[in-house]
């Protein structure tokens, strides 16, 4: 049986663009998750998500894996991009769209709003 940390590592490695958030892209459960997923969706690419409210084990362990204490967390190509403030700043200066589009192009396929 795999551990929570192994599950997290597998999700990160299998999903080119992945957001760990409170709620879902269609129904965010916190303002920071809402802002982050809105910026991500504006890039127009498909991405996976994990609702940490439905996964308390992931919610407890992910901050240790990424060395990042809060949610949401955006991971692109296996690397932690950051949380709400970083993602929103990147969106406002145009960096986010380039990062996401480049990652999506390299990935080829994914499904928007897929559960990881």
User: What tens-digit pLDDT sequence spans the chain (116 residues)?
Assistant: 579 999 999 999 999 999 999 999 999 999 999 999 999 999 999 999 999 999 999 999 999 999 999 999 999 999 999 999 999 999 999 999 999 999 999 887 544 455 66
| Class of 4-109 in CATH | alpha beta
Name the burial class of residue 5, with classes exposed (0-12), middle (13-18) and buried (19+) by CB atoms within 10 angstroms of its CB: middle
Given this model, what pLDDT does residue 26 score? 97
How high is the pLDDT of residue 1? 56
Q: What is the pLDDT of residue 114?
A: 55
The pLDDT of residue 66 is 92
Domain edges within the chain: 4-109
Long-range contacts of the stretch 99-107 (C-beta < 8 A, 24+):
100/17, 100/40, 100/43, 100/45, 100/47, 100/76, 101/43, 101/44, 101/45, 103/16, 103/17, 103/45, 103/76, 103/77, 104/16, 104/17, 104/45, 104/46, 106/16, 106/77, 107/16, 107/17
């Amino acid at each position: 049986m795999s551990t929570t940390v192994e599950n997290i590592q597998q999700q990160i490695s299998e999903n080119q663009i992945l957001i760990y958030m409170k709620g879902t892209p269609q129904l965010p459960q916190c303002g920071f998750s809402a802002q982050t997923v809105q910026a991500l969706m504006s890039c127009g690419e498909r991405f996976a998500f994990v609702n940490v409210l439905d996964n308390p084990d992931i919610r407890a362990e992910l901050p240790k894996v990424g060395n990042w204490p809060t949610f949401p967390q955006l991971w692109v190509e296996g690397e932690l991009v950051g949380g709400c403030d970083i993602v929103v700043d990147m969106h406002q200066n145009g960096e986010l769209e380039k990062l996401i589009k480049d990652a999506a192009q390299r990935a080829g396929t994914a499904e928007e709003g897929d559960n990881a």
